[in-house]
Chain A
Amino acid sequence: MAELDLWSMLFVFMLATFVGFQVIQNVSRLLHTPLMSLTNAISAIAIVGAILMAGEEESTLATVLGAVAVAASMTNIVSGFLITDRMLKMFRAREPRESKK
């Protein structure tokens, strides 16, 4: 059973990597800085693992480590999404061209 799960996880990893390559290659170079802050916020999904460690009450040390990890991930989520949006708001096209469309 455990072995079967390893294989399905490897499949997910492989497929997600290919999807990532495809999707990210299409991102305009204009937006590479917001791209990095957005993927940063997304990979803070690690908060899911941190929440489990902080909330399970298995051992005090694990709870403390988990809580610090929740704080670190939450920082990335909040600052990552906010700053990405702040940057994207600044990208404007030339006005005459916009009105033409």
Chain B
Amino acid sequence: MIHGLTQLTYLAAAALFILSLRWLSHPKTARRGVAAGVGGMTLAVVGTLMAPEIVNFKWIAIAMVIGTLIGVPLSWVPLTAVPQRTALSHAFGGLAAGLVGTAKYIVWYEHGELTTFRTGAIVLEVILGYLTFTGSLMAAGKLQEIVPTRPITYANQNIVNLLLLAIAIGAGVYLTIDPYVPMAFVVIVLLSLAFGVLLILPIGGADMPTVISLLNSYAGLAAVAMGFVLENKLLITAGALDGSSGLILSIIMCRAMNRSFTNVLFGAFGQVQATAAAGEAKTAKSATPQDVAELLTTADRVVIVPGYGMAVAQAQHKVRELYDQLTKRGIDVRFAIHPVAGRMPGHMNVLLAESEIPYDALIEMDDINPDMAQTDVALVVGANDVVNPAARHDKGSPIYGMPIIDVDKAKAIVAIKRSMNPGFAGIDNELYYLDQTLMAFGDAKQVVSDVVKSLSGEGSGH
């Protein structure tokens, strides 16, 4: 009877989780989505605690308190650090799946209850769980810059990696046929842990949005595998929702860079372009913040293109002040958001929302590109590759084919940049040498704040 009650809470929880994601579709209903998620989670946890199998609550209570104590401060991180936090939580999800799989193997081993199906599901759960665990830790380390962000490569890297995975899967198949070989289980655990690290080593910082999404998908699939082990349909449902979400996001990220999964995972982007950089000396026009301010006041339509460089310089609040100054003058200001701007899907939107820029001023790439030709000034703040016209016509460029924001079609362009050094991927940007382009050199925060100062000084004079 109690068992039926538990199942009922699971059923309700699954429905609430689906509603939760549905409400997230629009900013207006999104917070209701969080409430539904919390409700579903609470129901499911209470329902589980009522299950008759649970005889000892001490460890559960202690663990929950510890988890809360870690979780609350983790939710206070600055929004620039949200990608790291997300990677870390994928790691925790993977760890939980791996540990539950291991524990279940031990229990069924001791009771002699291992079957082919159970072992197969455990193997899947453990491989996915542990590789997500170490892979996400590596990704978090790279994002936090504890681990070098440059791709780390060595000879025959892909062959070594795939061989390791093949051995792990081979051991898994062997274990499914003969479950009572604990050594094979240990081999699988160790290889999965190692594979996660090796998989992320060759991946560069610019590919992090894709990698985080992919790890998100793996974490979800690990939860699905756990559902198969425990024969729990709620776990399967929630894991499948998470898995498909991660997959959709990875596909969007890959498309936004015109690259395939295999290319992201095995391509070691940012390694090979060193030779392509040398070219004829070109000159760029530089401008002072006062010049920029003057140019902006003559405009009717301004599009600001923010990149991760803006967040690194902590310039987003100054950009908001600039937005206020310009809109006050009746100038139409919008933001063009490239899907891979930032370090995770949607990162730039969150950063701009934090600095109180209304979300209806944030426009997706595909929606703003048709308007670029009517734009008087395009202001590029800390973005580089996503505005490089070479992506459209230069077949030799490593970013050829990548969809870009058509900044070069605007009547005037201002790019704020530290120096003429090529950006993250080491690719020269011809945008800076166009006739209508002005370069404002300096730290993004300093330059924008000087522009704002110049604008507000002028405003009081009128």
Contact = CB atoms under 8 A, between A and B. Distances in A.
Nearest to A84: B34
B380 interface: no
Contacts of A61: 103, 106
B66 interface: yes
B22 interface: yes
Contact of A46 (B90, B223, B364): B223
A67 B56 CA distance: 11
Nearest to B359: A91
Contact of A47 (B22, B45, B79): B45
B359 A93 contact: yes
Contact of B24 (A34, A45, A75, A77): A34
Nearest to A52: B53
B159 to A, nearest CB: 32
Interface string A11-40: 011001101110111111111111111111
Contacts of A2: 115, 117
A45 B353 contact: no
Interface in A68-101: 68-95, 97
A40 B216 contact: yes
A71 to B, nearest CB: 4
B25 A57 contact: no
A9 to B, nearest CB: 6
B346 A16 contact: no
A43 B249 contact: no
A24 B21 contact: yes
B interface, by DSSP: helix, strand, loop or mixed?
A: helix
Nearest to B342: A33
Contact of B93 (A24, A40, A70, A71): A40
A79 B72 contact: yes
A57 to B, nearest CB: 5
A45 B223 contact: yes
Interface stretch (B140-148, B175-183, B237-245, B407-415): B237-245
Interface string A34-70: 1111111111111111111111111101111111111
Contacts of A24: 21, 241, 244-245, 248
Contacts of B448: none
A33 B438 CA distance: 33
A40 B82 CA distance: 13
A74 B67 contact: yes
24 contacts: A12-B233, A20-B21, A28-B25, A31-B349, A33-B346, A33-B349, A36-B212, A39-B216, A40-B242, A43-B220, A43-B239, A44-B96, A47-B48, A48-B230, A51-B48, A52-B48, A55-B56, A58-B111, A62-B107, A70-B59, A75-B68, A75-B71, A82-B72, A88-B31
Given A13-B240, A46-B239, A69-B99, 19 more contacts: A2-B115, A31-B24, A32-B252, A34-B30, A36-B245, A39-B21, A39-B246, A42-B41, A43-B242, A45-B44, A46-B97, A48-B235, A55-B56, A58-B110, A65-B100, A65-B102, A70-B63, A72-B67, A74-B64
Interface of A: 2, 5-6, 8-9, 12-13, 16-17, 19-21, 23-59, 61-95, 97
Query: Which 8 residue pairs are nearest across A and B when measured between Cβ atoms?
Result: A74-B67, A78-B71, A32-B346, A20-B244, A55-B54, A82-B75, A43-B242, A16-B240
